[in-house]
A and B are shown apart, each in its own frame.
Chain A
């Protein structure tokens, strides 16, 4: 079964600084990979998803993620943090076929003015 590890339960950055949120998955076979964002008191929204063949995936709100098969990683980045980026971010993975999505434990991003 797939599993996903998010390094760092809380990340704090200054406004305008680089955002880097780390995600590693367990399988040697590239699965489906996603990043979701959760704003306070809301459900999760899709930020971006991995498409086979692409190494750099662009999402909404200026976020992007780089798929590195050799490192089984799918880290999320944004060049310049904005106050509105403060939220919890979840990496998720699933295998091919009708297998459910497995989520990481989440990383809470704080943005300091």
Chain B
């Protein structure tokens, strides 16, 4: 019963460094997404995918890349970290949204960029 697994749980980066936040789900969900959570801002969508090989931008995509080579995995890449990317990142998955299926969330990655 792993559900959605995010790694790492915590990460500290220096400005300009790159890294990949990992997300894996074992529920055979077609839909996967990345959100960032900042105080007073709620959750804002970064990128999402409706299936392997298909990705699209959300509300705040700048500075982030994604790819979806398998159904299970949806990594989020920070190309050149900036202090504005300090946040808590959540990966979530579901059956396709139009099935009224709820999102299943990972426990988050807390990222600090100095």
Chain B: CB-nearest residue to A103: B43
Q: Which of B41, B44, B97, B108 contacts A98 (CB 8 A)?
A: B97
Question: Contact between B41 and A105 (Cβ–Cβ < 8 Å)?
Answer: yes
Contacts of A44 in B (CB 8 A): 43, 90, 92, 103, 105
Cβ-based interface call for A34 (8 A): yes
With a cutoff of 8 Å between Cβ atoms, the chain A residues found around residue B105 in the complex are 43-45
Query: What is the interface of chain A mostly: helix, strand, loop, or mixed?
Result: loop
| Distance in angstroms between the alpha carbons of A49 and B58 in the assembled complex | 22
In the complex, whether B106 has a CB less than 8 A from a CB of chain A is yes
- Number of residues on chain A facing chain B (CB within 8 A): 25
Do A97 and B97 touch (CB < 8 A)?
A: yes
Does the CB pair A43–B108 fall under 8 Å?
yes
Looking at A34, A90, A99, A102, the one whose CB has the most chain B CB atoms below 10 A away is: A102
Chain A residue with the shortest CB-CB distance to B50: A98
